[in-house]
Amino acid sequence: MTNTRILGLDPGLASLGFGAISICTYTRPPTVTLIDFGIIQTPARTEMGTRLQTIYNDLHSLLDEIKPDLVAIEQLFFYKMGNTIPVAQARGVILLAIAQHQIPWVEFTPSQIKQAVAGYGNANKPEVQAAVARELALDKIPRPDDAADALAIALTAWLQIS
């Protein structure tokens, strides 16, 4: 029996959220299980190149460990002008690492993620996090927020391909 592994990524420079799920399509209905979740952190006062290298190295290790069949990423929006460029730089490193592992990837807007997981595109963060916990049969909402967001992204990918 083969499971599909999806790794969700919530791009960030200070905190890159990740969440991995496994889907067994041989059961009816398909079953979704949690593999792992967490963050890749880089210290704020560290030089940009060092921070990007940390993301690159840690993401390579994560991809080797999880071995995802698909990676899902939140699409970058430009309304957060204060951190758009650093997040875009981190996202470039993320896409490079994914390409080097030859893993297909998809991206979703925040409203697509909210719609898929919580049922409507204007859901607030607590509603999305509660839906993630419910869908994965977790006793509590995953923490930190970036990891919960990454799980929501992974769930969105599953719901889009199922």
Query: 58, 64, 69, 74: which one is catalytic?
Result: 74
Query: 10, 47, 127, 135: which one is catalytic?
Result: 10
The verdict on whether 64 is a catalytic residue reads no
Q: How are strands ordered across the β-sheet holding 15-24?
A: 31-41, 15-24, 4-10, 70-74, 105-108
115-146 b/e (C-beta count within 10 Å ≥ 16 → b):
bbbbeeeebeeeebbbbbbebbeeeebbeebb
Phi then psi for residue 96, to 5 deg, are -65, -45
Q: CB atoms < 10 A from the CB of 71, how many? A: 28
The verdict on whether 146 is a catalytic residue reads yes
Residues marked as catalytic: 10, 74, 146
